[in-house]
Chains A and B, each alone.
Chain A
Amino acid sequence: MDRTGKRLKKIALIGNPNVGKSVLFSRLTGVRVLVSNYPGTTVELLEGYLTVDKELVKVVDLPGTYSLEASAPAEKVTVNMLKEEIDLVVNVIDACNLERNLYLTMELLESGAAMIVALNMFDELRHCGVALDVKKLEQLLGARVIPTSGMTGLGIKDLKEELFQAKSRKSSKHTNEQRWVRIGKIIEEVQQLSHRHHNLLELLEDASVTHFWGMAIAALVIISSFKFIRFIGEGLINYILDPFFNNFYRPVIQRLSVFLGPGGFWHNVLVGKVIDGKIDFQQSLGLLTTAPYVEFVMVLPYILAFYLLLSFLEDSGYLPRLALLLDNVMHKLGLHGFAIIPVLLGFGCNVPGILGTRILESERERFIASTLISIGVPCVALQAMIFGVLGGFGGYFVFLVYAILFCVWLCLGAILNYFLKGYSPELLIEIPPYRVPSLKLMSKKVFFRVRGFIFEALPIVLLSVLVINILQQIKVFEFISIIFGPVLRVLFGLPKEAIWALIIGLLRKDIAAGMLAGLGLNVKQLMISCVVLSMSFPCIATFIIFFKELGIKRLLQGILIMGIVTAVVGTAMNMLLP
């Protein structure tokens, strides 16, 4: 409804996965959305507004689908949406893949909806060796066809102008075979393929889906990813952020400390404890000391590095190839290869990871994937802190923590696959061509993700530090430590103070890991607490998204599994590690 109570007209963007609907959507409405080069980036409805002839209209971007008879939950969203009142369908199709894309077009035409066809990626036509007769296509389809390119902005203006010229015309229903026959005829008349030689990207494309070269390239990608993240992360910390905090921020805080007078309530809240006569950014636990230091100096650089890398991998089109390579392994966990994409997203933050499981078909897969993400996949904030507290003892220990988490992930997946009823569907995905990522789109994406992190994380970080701070001042922790202390000591060999960190882990894992640094733990204890922290309670945000996506019953099952696995692994580490 608009302000006068009139119903707004609604336009829906519908098309196959990975044809660039979201880029077009963004062009039409100015709403910023995440786009990448793999099928299934958009898993929920996105809405935006656009003015046509001074009239406000609503535009919805729908998850991609190959057919109106959908299978995955993300696709069902699209089909259900179509049944609602849609005034105009913009069918977005990939000009280089006309034949396959036209199937959905046929179904849409038969549904009788008013429709315009956006022949997207039109700028890539020559590159893929295809020539199209657009006028002829228009005639044969009986719908307006507009060449567009979301990337360059080609045809966007035309598209806007034509939006409400389209009329609905009912075409008769056809069977599957009849549709293909019709598509065959259309293709014959409008499309001409020219022979062209493979360029370097295409040679790489073919190589990365073969067994030997695929594995070699995957190994190279994974190793250079780690190197890249460490290079950027450590570089920013050691040469820019830490010196900045120590040289410019410390004097300010010191003055504040003197002004407030150590020991007072506000001093404790804002500046925190003074350790050996000095403010310790990592351990003082004040709102203005530890909170900003942990988030901006210890965590943010890794967030930035991680999202730079992830965005590059997403936009280049490499991720679906990784899915193909890992399909075998993932089947042992009751998933298929495509599930690796939400898992990778989970390494950034578990929340988009769990949301991303919507690309999986069955509820069983989604539960397995979500549980594995929340238990076995530490988010980048936590990883940064694991590097921070454990890295000083040597890379070997960090590696060991990762190795243990990876084993847990594999074993837990295999166990869940064995015990949960049902079967795991097979992989069926389209592998997009490699594309050189657009620097502009990539930096936008990194910017939004990093900004999202700051705005979502910072309030909770401040809250966590405040909670610890006040609980310390009113001595609640001591009471809790007395109760849980013996459990921690017997099972995990940790001092009773470590319970603070585990409880704070409920809110934010990075702050929690930061608290470990102040406990004077030895390497073994640190490793155990890092693993326990990674596996145990997911932070509050993951909790909520798990509940929203899979319901209370699955959440409780997930928590139960988490509790058992964490206790077992922590105890085993305590007993087995020297």
Chain B
Amino acid sequence: MKKVTLVEMKSKEKGVIIKVEGGHALEKRLSVMGLNLNRRITKLSTFAFRGPVAVRIGRSVVALGHGMASKIWIELEKD
């Protein structure tokens, strides 16, 4: 299965969060907003010039900065 960061993931692709780099604090902060390990997400968009990333998690949408997004690893689902 292909593994990419949330930044590299393309819009409309789906996948599961497998790893969050950057320490426990970040992992915790993301997880309480729904971006926890093993969560299935759908990428909505990335903004140009190292802009933020938007993802759909379940019924909610979360936007996060480029730096954070580049620390989240996703295992892509096959279509």
Q: Contact residues of A with B, CB < 8 Å? A: 66-67, 69, 71, 96-97, 99-100, 103-104, 128-130, 176, 180, 205-206, 209-211, 214, 320, 323-325, 327-328, 336-337, 426-433
Given contacts A71-B29, A176-B31, contact A210 B65 (CB under 8 A): no
Given contacts A96-B59, A128-B59, contact A328 B31 (CB under 8 A): no
24 A/B residue pairs, CB under 8 Å, sorted by A: A69-B28, A97-B34, A97-B59, A97-B60, A99-B34, A100-B32, A100-B34, A103-B32, A130-B59, A176-B27, A209-B45, A209-B63, A211-B47, A320-B63, A327-B51, A327-B65, A328-B52, A426-B66, A426-B67, A428-B68, A430-B33, A431-B61, A432-B60, A433-B59
**A324 and B31: CB pair below 8 A?**
no
**Does B58 interact with chain A (Cβ within 8 Å)?**
yes
**A104 and B32: CB pair below 8 A?**
yes
Q: Mark B47-62, 1 if CB is under 8 A from A, else 0.
A: 1111110101111111
A31 to B49, CA, bound (A): 45
Interface of B is mostly: mixed
Given contacts A180-B36, A327-B52, contact A103 B31 (CB under 8 A): yes
- CB of B13 to closest CB in A, whole Å: 14
**B30 and A428: CB pair below 8 A?**
yes
**A100 and B60: CB pair below 8 A?**
yes
- CB of B70 to closest CB in A, whole Å: 10
**A209 cross-chain contacts in B, Cβ below 8 A:** 44-45, 54, 61, 63
**A66 and B65: CB pair below 8 A?**
no
Scan residues 63-78 of chain B and give those whose CB is less than 8 A from a CB of chain A: 63-68
Given contacts A99-B58, A324-B52, contact A336 B65 (CB under 8 A): yes
**B27 cross-chain contacts in A, Cβ below 8 A:** 176
**B36 cross-chain contacts in A, Cβ below 8 A:** 180
**B28 cross-chain contacts in A, Cβ below 8 A:** 67, 69, 176
**A103 cross-chain contacts in B, Cβ below 8 A:** 31-32
**B57 cross-chain contacts in A, Cβ below 8 A:** 100
**B51 and A328: CB pair below 8 A?**
yes
Given contacts A210-B44, A324-B47, contact A427 B65 (CB under 8 A): yes
**B60 and A428: CB pair below 8 A?**
no
**A325 and B47: CB pair below 8 A?**
yes
**B47 and A328: CB pair below 8 A?**
yes
Scan residues 1-49 of chain B and give those whose CB is less than 8 A from a CB of chain A: 11, 27-34, 36-37, 44-49
- CB of B59 to closest CB in A, whole Å: 5
- CB of A206 to closest CB in B, whole Å: 6
**A328 cross-chain contacts in B, Cβ below 8 A:** 47-52
**A429 and B34: CB pair below 8 A?**
no
**B32 cross-chain contacts in A, Cβ below 8 A:** 66-67, 100, 103-104
The chain A residue with its CB closest to the CB of B68 is A426
**B58 and A327: CB pair below 8 A?**
no
**B50 cross-chain contacts in A, Cβ below 8 A:** 328
**A324 and B63: CB pair below 8 A?**
yes
A97 to B33, CA, bound (A): 11
The chain B residue with its CB closest to the CB of A107 is B32
**A427 and B64: CB pair below 8 A?**
yes
**A206 and B65: CB pair below 8 A?**
no
The chain B residue with its CB closest to the CB of A424 is B65
A129 to B59, CA, bound (A): 9
- CB of B18 to closest CB in A, whole Å: 14
Sample of 18 more A-B contacts, CB < 8 Å, known A328-B52, A430-B61: A99-B58, A100-B33, A100-B57, A103-B31, A129-B59, A176-B28, A209-B54, A211-B47, A324-B63, A325-B47, A327-B52, A327-B63, A328-B48, A328-B49, A426-B67, A428-B64, A429-B62, A431-B62
Name the residue in B28, B50, B51 with the highest tally of chain A Cβ atoms < 10 Å from its Cβ. Answer: B51
**A104 cross-chain contacts in B, Cβ below 8 A:** 32
**B49 cross-chain contacts in A, Cβ below 8 A:** 328
**B54 cross-chain contacts in A, Cβ below 8 A:** 209, 324, 431
**B45 and A210: CB pair below 8 A?**
yes
**A97 cross-chain contacts in B, Cβ below 8 A:** 34, 58-60
The chain B residue with its CB closest to the CB of A129 is B59
A211 to B11, CA, bound (A): 11
**A100 cross-chain contacts in B, Cβ below 8 A:** 32-34, 57-58, 60
**A427 and B63: CB pair below 8 A?**
yes
The chain A residue with its CB closest to the CB of B49 is A328
The chain B residue with its CB closest to the CB of A69 is B28
The chain B residue with its CB closest to the CB of A206 is B44
**B68 cross-chain contacts in A, Cβ below 8 A:** 426, 428
- CB of B23 to closest CB in A, whole Å: 13
A211 to B64, CA, bound (A): 15
**A430 and B62: CB pair below 8 A?**
yes
**A128 cross-chain contacts in B, Cβ below 8 A:** 59
**A67 cross-chain contacts in B, Cβ below 8 A:** 28, 32
Query: Which of A69, A205, A206, A431 meets B63, CB within 8 Å?
Result: A431
A427 to B60, CA, bound (A): 16
A68 to B50, CA, bound (A): 31
The chain A residue with its CB closest to the CB of B42 is A206
**B29 cross-chain contacts in A, Cβ below 8 A:** 71, 428
**A427 cross-chain contacts in B, Cβ below 8 A:** 52, 63-65
- CB of A446 to closest CB in B, whole Å: 28
A97 to B37, CA, bound (A): 17
- CB of A305 to closest CB in B, whole Å: 30
Name the residue in B33, B37, B46 with the highest tally of chain A Cβ atoms < 10 Å from its Cβ. Answer: B33
The chain B residue with its CB closest to the CB of A183 is B36
**B45 and A430: CB pair below 8 A?**
no
Given contacts A428-B65, A430-B62, contact A211 B45 (CB under 8 A): yes
**A66 and B63: CB pair below 8 A?**
no
The chain B residue with its CB closest to the CB of A18 is B60
A211 to B28, CA, bound (A): 29
Which 3 A-B pairs give the minimum distances between C-beta atoms?
A426-B65, A100-B34, A66-B32
A432 to B60, CA, bound (A): 7
Name the residue in A100, A128, A180, A426 with the highest tally of chain B Cβ atoms < 10 Å from its Cβ. Answer: A100
**A176 cross-chain contacts in B, Cβ below 8 A:** 27-28, 31
